[in-house]
């Protein structure tokens, strides 16, 4: 039996190309628990710079009996084009869709005529059972954790319990990807201090209740043991030559003792590695000992997810961050030799220009050396979306394509002619943040100087001085290209 796992091509701006962790976990799980072991491969379209024609050629070459897709909601338009291509190329193959978009918007995905099944929630055990039954010729439609299409009607089975012991999962199938190749692309961290790098994802769920987030993994924190994490790091170091690790956990430092023990294992191993936290840490949940251990283990770059410093908005968003503690920890991180970077979100519903400027002032006067000022994403099926609808009943997101939902477009606030000018405030924030002599000096002395540094500087200047015009046109070109390749008519293309 042949299985092809696909990550679709994006059609949004500012695309990073990161390793397909989800697909690698699925592949490894199938290899471990399905017998006989199917032939399984991964096709990462963005990494391959693949068009829909390239994708069709790959399908016709491999002729997989099962085609699995995983996508974020921002990838939805690309996903749907790929679904059409797959169904036309291989009408008898089973098409199954999972990942964040399919979990939250499963009712929309299962309505697609090309889709046979949708995996809702964590996919490893569901996918293993699905493949085992398909391969052995048994019915799979009663599996927990899926929705399926029966004669044009969506059917939903009981949910599947989250995986309690993550140590039971095999390490991702790193042999199915070209590990060194990912170091050539822009990554979520923005920088590399060593080559090659690899992202690792060792815990699931976030116990906090931020209203702008979807709860993909639930609220009960689950994590690999420090011994298991160290085993994965050693495997990547010794077998694949990895020298930099990007920890992508939603909240790596929730269990501080576990985090400290991981650092202790790395220090005791003697491995000379670099570590970064592109997805951020809970900035007010750090102590001096953990920061010291992180630095000694090789951490050189850490994102602090601040979002807003407005006390009112912190309460509304249910983030309840101790901003004073975050400011102190950024300073301590810098003193320990770790580059502090920060995330901010601009344009929350009801956010005033005064509150926006309060957040920008905090960023400018902080010890952070990098700041990302994102427009607020108001995703459907979040509490924030309901709040936005109450504020503006006419506000609506296209739940078919999600083409306007990315961090460089504030769809909700741009629709308010009397509100703050979000794009202008963001560009001003970047200029104020970076045009400070002490920060420029620290960036030049602390950041690793290599092609990644030069590329990041280029994109930083592009975003700061030219704005988002160039990126918007790039996105339009990608959408038109995809529409042409899929055979869409002229009226479909004109809307882009």
Residue 74's H or E segment, with its range, is none
Helix axis angle for 256-269 and 288-297, nearest 10°, is: 30
Instruction: Look at residue 404 in the predicted model and tell me its pLDDT.
Output: 60
Instruction: Please name the residue ranges forming H helices in 249-345.
Output: 256-269, 288-297, 311-317, 323-335
Query: Among 385, 406, 389, 387, which residue's Cα sits nearest to residue 475?
Result: 406
Within 13 Å and on the Cβ side, how many CA atoms surround 279? 17
- Say if CB 118 and CB 130 are below 8 A apart: no
Instruction: Look at residue 283 in the predicted model and tell me its pLDDT.
Output: 96
Within 13 Å and on the Cβ side, how many CA atoms surround 358? 16
**The CATH fold of domain 2-156:** Rossmann fold (3.40.50)
Task: Give the domain ranges of the chain.
Answer: 2-156, 178-448
Instruction: Look at residue 466 in the predicted model and tell me its pLDDT.
Output: 56
Q: Which residues contact 9 (CB under 8 A, 6 or more apart)?
A: 45, 46, 50, 51, 52, 75, 78, 82, 478, 482
- Cα–Cα distances (Å) from 427 to 54, 295, 307, 356, 421, in that order, read 38, 32, 16, 13, 10
> Can the peptide bond before residue 36 be classed as cis, meaning omega within 30 degrees of 0?
yes
Instruction: Look at residue 475 in the predicted model and tell me its pLDDT.
Output: 54
Buried b (16+ CB within 10 A) or exposed e, 179-197: beebbeebbebbbbbbebb
The secondary structure of the chain in percent helix, strand, coil, rounded to multiples of 5, reads 45, 15, 40
Instruction: Look at residue 486 in the predicted model and tell me its pLDDT.
Output: 56
Taking the whole predicted model, whether its pTM rises above 0.95 is answered as: no
- Residue 78 CA to residue 401 CA, distance in Å, equals 8
Instruction: Look at residue 454 in the predicted model and tell me its pLDDT.
Output: 81
- Residue 309 CA to residue 358 CA, distance in Å, equals 7
Q: What is the DSSP string of 236-259?
A: HHHHH---EEEE--S-TTSSHHHH
Instruction: Look at residue 12 in the predicted model and tell me its pLDDT.
Output: 52
Q: What is the DSSP string of 396-457?
A: ---TTT-TT-STT--HHHHT-TTS--HHHHHHHHHHHHH--HHHHHHHHHHS--SHHHHHHH
CATH class in words for 178-448: alpha beta
Q: Is the dihedral of CA 270, 338, 374, 392 positive or negative?
A: positive
- Cα–Cα distances (Å) from 99 to 185, 382, 486, in that order, read 23, 17, 23
Q: What is the mean pLDDT of each run of 10 residues along the chain (496 residues)?
A: 92 74 98 98 94 96 98 87 96 97 93 95 96 97 94 89 96 98 92 96 92 85 98 98 97 97 98 96 96 98 96 94 97 98 92 96 98 87 87 75 62 64 88 94 92 75 58 56 56 43
Q: Which residues contact 26 (CB under 8 A, 6 or more apart)?
A: 5, 68, 98, 123, 124, 127
Q: Which residues contact 221 (CB under 8 A, 6 or more apart)?
A: 203, 204, 205, 206, 207, 251, 254, 255
Decide the pairing of beta strands 66-70 and 39-44. Answer: unpaired
Task: Tell me how far the alpha carbon of residue 154 is from its chain's centroid.
Answer: 28
Q: Which residues contact 173 (CB under 8 A, 6 or more apart)?
A: 24, 25, 27, 28, 31, 40, 42
């Amino acid at each position: 039996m042949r299985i092809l796992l696909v990550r679709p091509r994006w059609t949004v701006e500012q695309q990073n190309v990161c390793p397909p962790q989800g697909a690698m976990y699925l592949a490894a799980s199938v290899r471990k628990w399905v017998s006989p072991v199917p032939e399984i491969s991964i096709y990462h379209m963005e990494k391959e710079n693949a068009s829909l024609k390239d994708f069709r050629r790959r399908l016709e070459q491999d002729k997989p009996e099962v085609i699995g897709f995983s996508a974020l909601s921002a990838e939805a338009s690309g996903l749907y084009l790929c679904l059409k291509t797959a169904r036309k190329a291989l009408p008898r193959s089973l098409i199954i869709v999972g990942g964040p978009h399919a979990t939250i918007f499963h009712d929309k995905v299962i309505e697609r005529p090309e889709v046979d099944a949708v995996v809702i929630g964590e996919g490893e055990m569901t996918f293993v059972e699905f493949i085992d039954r398909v391969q052995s010729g048994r019915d799979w439609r009663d599996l927990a954790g899926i929705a399926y299409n029966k004669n044009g009607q969506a059917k939903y089975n009981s949910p599947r319990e989250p995986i309690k012991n993550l140590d039971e999962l095999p390490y991702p199938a790193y042999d199915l990807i070209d590990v060194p190749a990912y170091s050539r692309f822009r990554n979520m961290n923005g920088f590399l201090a060593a080559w090659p790098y690899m992202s690792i994802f060792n815990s699931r769920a976030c116990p906090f209740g931020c209203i702008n987030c979807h709860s993909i993994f639930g609220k009960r924190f689950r994590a690999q043991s420090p011994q298991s994490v160290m085993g994965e790091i050693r495997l990547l170091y010794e077998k694949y030559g990895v020298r930099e690790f990007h920890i992508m956990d939603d909240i790596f430092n929730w269990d501080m003792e576990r985090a400290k023990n991981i650092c202790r294992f790395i220090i005791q191993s003697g491995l000379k590695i670099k570590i970064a936290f592109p997805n951020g840490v809970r900035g007010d949940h750090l102590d001096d000992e953990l920061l010291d251990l992180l630095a000694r283990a090789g951490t050189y770059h850490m994102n602090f997810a601040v979002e807003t410093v407005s006390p009112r908005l912190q309460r509304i968003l249910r983030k309840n961050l101790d901003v004073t503690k975050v400011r102190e920890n950024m300073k301590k991180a810098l003193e320990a030799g770790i580059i502090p970077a920060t995330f901010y979100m601009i344009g929350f519903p009801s956010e005033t220009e005064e509150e926006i400027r309060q957040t920008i002032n905090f960023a400018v006067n902080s010890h952070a050396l990098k700041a990302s000022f994102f427009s607020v994403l108001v995703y459907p099926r979040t509490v924030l979306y309901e709040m936005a609808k109450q504020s503006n009943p006419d506000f609506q997101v296209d739940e078919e394509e999600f083409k306007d939902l990315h961090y460089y477009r504030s769809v909700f606030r741009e629709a308010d002619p009397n509100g703050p000018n979000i794009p202008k405030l963001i560009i001003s924030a970047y200029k104020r943040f970076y045009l400070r002599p002490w920060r420029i000096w620290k960036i030049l002395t602390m950041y690793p100087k290599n092609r990644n540094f030069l590329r990041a500087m280029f994109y930083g200047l592009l975003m700061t001085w030219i704005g988002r015009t160039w990126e918007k046109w790039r996105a339009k070109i990608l959408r038109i290209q995809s529409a042409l390749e899929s055979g869409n008519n002229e009226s479909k293309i004109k809307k882009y």
